[in-house]
Amino acid sequence: MAYYLKLYTATLVAFFAIDMVWLGLVARTFYRKYLGFLLASSPNWIAAVIFYLLFILGILVFVVLPGLKDDSLSTTLLRAALFGLVTYATYDLTNLATVRDWPLLVTVVDLIWGTVLSMAVGWAGVLAGRWLS
C-alpha cells in the first residue's frame, strides 16, 4: 500500500507542476480572452482539488499501473493520450453542446492540452513507479 501512495503522490506532484505552468503562464490570458464572460472571480478550490485527486486516480488505474505491468512506454503513452483525450472531451464537448457561445477554439486547445498533459503525466508516473520499485 505504501508503494501505491508514494506512486499516487509522485504522479499528483507531476500533474500539478505541469498543469500549473500551463494555467499560470500559457492559458491564463487565453481562457480570459475566450471565456472571460463565464469565469468566476476566483476558482472553486474544493472542486479543483477533487478534480485533481480523481484525475490522478484515473491516470494511475488506466495508464500508469498497466504501463508498469506491460513495461511498454509506447503503450503507456497511447493509453495516456486516449485517457486525456476522452476525459477532456467529456468536459469540452459537453460545454460545446450545451453552453451558449462556447468557443470551438477553446475545445480544440483543451483537447490537445488534455492529451499532451496526460501523456507527460503518464510518462512521469511510470518513471516514478520504476524508481520506487
pLDDT at 87 over 90: yes
Per-residue pLDDT tens over the stretch 119-133:
999 999 999 999 998
In this structure, the number of other CB atoms found within 10 A of the CB of residue 99 comes to: 11
Over residues 95-124, the mean pLDDT reads 96
Which of 41, 36, 35 has the alpha carbon at shortest distance from 102?
35
Q: What is the pLDDT of residues 21-69, one digit of tens each?
A: 998 888 889 999 999 989 888 889 999 999 999 999 999 999 999 999 9
**Is-above-0.85 flag for pTM?**
yes
Residue 101 has pLDDT above 90, yes or no: yes
* DSSP states along 34-101: HHTTT--SS--HHHHHHHHHHHHHHHIIIIIHHHHHHT-HHHHHHHHHHHHHHHHHHHHHHHHHHSTT
Domain interval for residue 123: 2-132
C-alpha cell at 109: 486547445
Contact 91, 55 (CB under 8 A): no
Contacts of 96-99 with CB under 8 Å at 24 or more apart are: 99/38
Q: How many domains does the chain fold into?
A: 1
Average of pLDDT values for 102-123?
97
- Report the chain's mean pLDDT, rounded to a whole number: 95
